[in-house]
Structure 1
Amino acid sequence: MASEYTTSEYIKHHLTNASMCSTENGIAFNAQCADAGFWVWHVDTLGWSIALGLLFLALFRSAAKKATTGVPSKWQAFVELVIEFVDDNVKSTFHGKSNLIAPLALTIFVWVLLMNLMDLVPVDWLPSIAGMIGQYGFGMDPHDVYMKAVPTTDLNLTFALALGVFALIIFYSIKIKGVSGFVKELTMQPFGHWAFIPVNFILETVTLLARPLSLALRLFGNLYASELIFILIATLGYFQLPLHFVWSVFHILVLPLQAFIFMMLTIVYLSLASEDH
């Protein structure tokens, strides 16, 4: 596929989301959405993230339904290992009381990990399949068919995940401390004098907003850079195989690490929000 484009066109094509938007003339796609503003749907990001979320639910549900107290199957043993790993991290990090945190941490870890693992799929496979479907199924030019298969390389998705965590931070802060306690936390720390309320409010607000911002940008930055390197390696043609193998082996360690970091930071932030000062 790389031979059909110049290097810059090839990279741009692989880093462009399949977009859908609503215009005065009806539903529009891709380049027609350039002037649509904020309300553009990245259908590939939505499709893959939802599909991988459903895959996570189906796999873990099957393990739960077939669970036995006897000798577990390999899949049951693996699921129990993942759940125990997440549960141990929650117990050692989260100091409040909530039945939501452990399931939330498990969902975040496995879901983000599955989305990250899409980075290991060769970069030409899914775009080529999408191009053939567009060409032979809908009469489209394959060059106008886009498919970005790694949801976590889309800043919209990482920000959506981070904003969900941010909403829980606000919820637990108000639930544990009350509205007045939450306001005091923003205005009377770190300097406990009324004269420093404006300074405290600026510092604490920046700290609060930095949490979802750091969550979103860290995950996006690492995965986007990783995908970009895979795309650059693919432009080498037949010489790409050794480099692709080395970079893939390295990413077998990096991709779970990014999911783990996202999960741990979520637990830490919610633990801080649940502390009653």
Structure 2
Amino acid sequence: MRILTAATGLALLVGSSLGAAAADVYAPYDPNPAAPAPAAYDYGDTDFVFILGIGGIVLPEFEGAEDYEIRPQAIVSVEYLSIPGLGAFGGPDGRGFSIGPSFNYVGERDSSDFDELDGLDDVDDTFEAGFKASYEWEHAEIYGAVRYAFGGAEGVVGDIGANLIARPTERLVLKAGPTASFASSDYMDAYFGVSTSESFNTGGRLAPYDPDGGFKSVGVAASARYEVFTDWFVNADASYDRLVGDAKDSPIVEAGDANQFTFGLGISKRFSLDLW
């Protein structure tokens, strides 16, 4: 299966990336450095603390597909933000109320690349930008994100969820919980709709379909973050989503699979800025 090839490529990619990151920090690299566990991050006079990284992700070739591929993935998160006159968001270990940017990117869907989509119009690259808000306690969190999509698809898309949180050590954070996603009708139509002319181009293989907006999927997600060195992290995440509602009833999904899995692995680093 394609997923096996993708997973092998992901392992090689992450293995080489981790080796490069380690070489930048230790020379020679010690796989068990005798360093103390990190203390809680001291924000001091810092106004903005964020995390940037890169990794690889195994995911369906398109929403509703039954075959998988590997793609690069950016890791971006805001850990702490202090705004004069408004207060501070986030805090040590990310606990408390946090607000920050939310981004997503969906690559071009070239219908001629997939037998089940042959005859449909192509969908250009879609960019999504918006905001995410969350509240974290010691052992749980709730979150939600809303983004505006433009490019190949237009409209509003977002997700909500909750997690249980475990911290087996000072370096390791584990999270797992339910998730749900939603989208407006314009967004749903771009990826799950079939116009009359498109149906004709498929020879009637895919019937005309005009989806409404609403919930797009429900599922579960889990993640792990391990601080290998001070401010350097290894990130792993996995999820299962079941397409629901008008997304699941799309002839595109009926020709593929409503069950969607993802697995990601990457490295990231914490940065801090004094803005004000």
Normalization by structure 1: what TM-score?
A: 0.23
Q: Which has the higher helix share?
A: 1
